[in-house]
Chain A
Amino acid sequence: MNVPAVSSEPARLLRRLQSDAGAGRLPLALGRAREESAAGDDPLSAWWSIPGAVVELSALPGAGALSVAFALALRARAQAVAARRPGWLCALDPAGTLSAPALLHLGVPLDELLVIRPPPDRALACATRACRSGVAAVVVDVAAVDDLSRWSVPLRRLTLAAEEQGAAVLLVTSARARREGPLPCAARALVDVAPPGAGGVAGARPPAPGASAALVLRPVRHRHGLPPRVLCTPSSSVIAALVAEQVRH
């Protein structure tokens, strides 16, 4: 299996991936999203794991946004640990739906994941306080909130706290939630189940029970320019393979 060389620079990595894809050496880094895989060794983390910023992942329930968020949080944790900073993770789970075995299967160290279950309207305030406590990454799952029209101000506070502490904040929202405008995040992507055969990726088979379906991150906004679309091939909730595609907009 050909695995692309590690690169932390997105454009360079993208060129490498494109040349690999063109040469028929499709990079499929199969395996769990391991903790020790430092950020920057795949297109997902190169573009979407941004320490000190808020990244919004919008999806419908079951589309895999939460898995992607935790995969990105693990990469931010690996970065923090490499920098000899505390590697605590924090999950804001207002709905109380996070399940232990699936997180464990995803590679999340449960004894270093602090789960907080505030009321939905206080999730961002609690995330801000968690950021100020020095956690490496915060996953805010507000997919059950259907009205985000007044979330700009608390989100700006959260952004300031994340910038101050260098924490990566992953905001999981519902694609159907009501908004007055775009939320003030550094980047936003829509996460969806990839259509059958998307990108010609081996992992993107038609979704059937027992087979791995592919997820696709469709970038909507990014502070470093619009990144390529990223296909993730999860084994159910586990991010297992990562492939970059050229943007098709």
Chain B
Amino acid sequence: MLPRLAATCVGIVAIERAVGVVAGGASSSRPSPHARLCDASDGALARGVRPGQRIVDAQRCAPDLQVVAVDVAGLTQALHGVAEQLYRHAPACEPVAPAERACLPFFAVVVDLAGLPRPPARTLAELAAAVAQTGHRAVVAASSSRALSLAVARDMAARPSRWGRAQLVIDDRGPERLAVRTALRTRLAVEALELDRDVVDDLRAAGVACAQDLVPLLRSGLVERLGVAAQRVRPVLVDAADLDDVDDLVVPWRPPELVVVARELEHAVTALEPLLFVLRPLAEDVLRRLDARGARLLELTVALRRQTAAPTELIVGFPAAVTAVDVVVRVLQARLERAFAQQRVGHDGVRGLVLRASRTTPARARQLEGLGSPPSSGSSSGTTAASLAAAPLQGAIADLCAEFSAELGEGRVGCLHPTRAALPEHMTALLPPGVAADADDDRVAGSAAAPRRGRRPVTLDPRTAHGRFAAGWPWPLSMLPTPVRLASLEAVVDERLFCQLDGVDDDGPYEREYRVVVFADGRRALCVWDAETSERFLCGWFD
């Protein structure tokens, strides 16, 4: 079995190897002391400096360390030049830039070896020679998986002494597949998996040293911790010999839901007042989206993109969950006043805004509000439990609700809820999705159209139960918003009593008699009989 993919991890940073250590990911000339090293000179390596280390940690091994920040744009351009050279040896080459926060930010070229006539080992040697001709150092690894090839190449480039070679062909498609992959995972450092540095730090703190150590963590919430990055880990962990369902464990990951709202401004804003004017609808949008997801805001991150200077980021924490936009805007105003004074934001001008809900909490209180009055003891306790058990909405549906609520207004988007004993006109009321109604309540629970206001429970005719007539009729599927005088419609050929309702409405006590009428063409409708005028009014259609 021939491996199909080769990852050529190009040592472009070797251009600066004579200088010393190169800090990856930083674009400015003075990298942060917490920036990670992506490569080191031989002298630095001999003194214990390792790629992936923070600069402060590396300086403990080599206090006289010289740090050079790489020019990412220049390296990317050079990488494309290398890829052009490799096109001579393989028909498909893809330059791969490192992730922004990757531990080992090596540039790489992925080469498809499928269909090449020569043996993989010889092709790999040719690829390495071709890269060397461009003046860069390269390690080459080939396997059946792109992610695995990249990870191995990264690890080989970062820890050459451990691997002892610059070219490696992994035959991981044969009968010894499981053993080969397990051995590989045991040798592969967790830094080589292109995970974020913070995640790697957490994993290291949890005792994870190599990729094989991740396998037992799969059942302990590793996928949830990794989030989107789980996709990168999956090809490496698949075929774990001691875990049959690893694929099931890794695949159904749910990406963390982030509520982010951004706005680009046509002109730079230099004053606070117009900036607040722009911020308010954005904050409203964030709150609305959170509301639709059943969450409340605890912390808001505001990034101000400035005209020339680096972006300013403000993190605004709230002591309790907030729902009112006025509160958010007031707090933002106070923070922005300080930012304008201290960081001279106004002097430079703001060209763009990004609001991100960085911390949220489940909206339990909001769900209670959705049920009308605060829950009292007794029958409402079941409602509360049901509300809290409501599952959060799926992201796309939540966004849809938020958009339509903003566009069409409250009460025009939501879910219908079953009511056991309500007036027919209340059966069409909508509740926000995710808010559970109490089936035992005598009203449309939580509906703004049917506030409680001390109403006496409506009594249904004993022949009806759960909104369904004993003879097999449910309530009509289509209820008219206002009754229509039946005399204006076609002739009625048959009529039968449906049910009787009596109770107290806002207008006082009432007694209604509902009948099912059948028209000449066979259609059926629900009518209410007005005893005073002896007239029938159409209430709904059995559609």
Contacts and interface: CB of A to CB of B under 8 A. Distances in A.
Interface of A: 59-67, 70, 86, 88, 95-106, 110-111, 113-118, 126, 129-130, 133-135, 141, 143, 192-195, 207-210, 213, 235-238
Contact of A66 (B413, B419, B472, B477): B477
Given A99-B475, A111-B415, A213 B397 contact: no
A62 B522 CA distance: 9
13 contacts: A62-B519, A62-B524, A62-B541, A67-B477, A88-B397, A100-B427, A101-B468, A110-B415, A115-B416, A116-B413, A133-B400, A134-B397, A209-B524
Of listed A88, A98, A100, A194, residue having the most chain B CB within 10 A: A100
Interface string B480-505: 11000000000000111000000000
A133 B475 CA distance: 31
Interface string B398-424: 011101100010001111111100001
B128 interface: no
Contacts of A60: 521, 523
Max chain B C-beta neighbours (<10 A), residue from A65, A98, A101, A106:
A101
Most buried by B among A99, A118, A194, A238: A99
Given A97-B428, A99-B424, A114-B397, A207 B467 contact: no
Contacts of A209: 494-496, 516, 518, 524
A239 to B, nearest CB: 12
A101 B394 contact: no
Nearest to A238: B474
Interface residues of B, number: 53
B477 A117 contact: no
Contact of B396 (A99, A134, A238): A134
B400 A213 contact: no
B266 to A, nearest CB: 27
Main secondary structure of the interface of B (DSSP, over half): mixed
Given A99-B478, A238-B474, 17 more contacts: A61-B543, A97-B478, A99-B427, A99-B477, A100-B428, A103-B477, A110-B418, A114-B415, A115-B415, A116-B412, A118-B404, A126-B404, A129-B404, A130-B400, A209-B496, A210-B471, A236-B524
Interface string B519-543: 1011111000000000000001111
Contacts of A61: 478, 523, 525, 541, 543
B83 interface: no
A195 B523 CA distance: 11
A101 B481 CA distance: 16
A208 B427 contact: no
B476 interface: yes
B81 to A, nearest CB: 39
> Which 10 interchain pairs have the tightest Cβ spacing?
A101-B467, A193-B522, A62-B523, A209-B496, A105-B474, A62-B541, A100-B416, A102-B477, A66-B543, A207-B522
B524 A133 contact: no
A85 to B, nearest CB: 11
B85 to A, nearest CB: 40
Given A64-B543, A99-B478, A114-B401, A208 B396 contact: no
B473 interface: yes
A100 B419 contact: yes
A238 to B, nearest CB: 7
A115 B414 contact: yes
Contacts of B525: 61-62
A130 B476 CA distance: 26
A63 B412 contact: no
B95 interface: no
A126 B405 CA distance: 12
Interface of B: 390, 394, 396-397, 399-401, 403-404, 408, 412-419, 424, 427-428, 430, 433, 436, 466-468, 471-481, 494-496, 516, 518-519, 521-525, 540-543
Most chain B C-beta atoms within 10 Å of own C-beta, residue among A62, A86, A130, A193: A62
Contacts of B417: 100, 110
Contacts of B524: 62, 207, 209, 213, 236
A207 B472 contact: no
A193 B543 CA distance: 10
Q: Which one of B394, B427, B519, B522 has the highest number of Cβ atoms from chain A below 10 Å of its Cβ?
A: B522
B468 A105 contact: yes
A126 B543 CA distance: 23
Contact of A237 (B419, B519, B542): B542
A97 B415 contact: no
A236 B467 CA distance: 14
A207 B525 CA distance: 12
Nearest to B525: A62
A62 B542 contact: yes
A115 B431 CA distance: 10
Contacts of B543: 59, 61-67, 143, 237
A62 B540 CA distance: 8
Contacts of A104: 418, 467
A65 B479 CA distance: 15
A248 to B, nearest CB: 19
Contacts of B416: 98-100, 103, 110, 113, 115
A191 to B, nearest CB: 9
Nearest to B401: A114
Contacts of A141: 478
Contacts of B408: 116-118
Contacts of B436: 111
Contacts of A118: 404, 408, 412
A173 to B, nearest CB: 13
A101 B478 CA distance: 11
A143 B540 CA distance: 14
Contacts of A130: 400
A70 B454 CA distance: 37
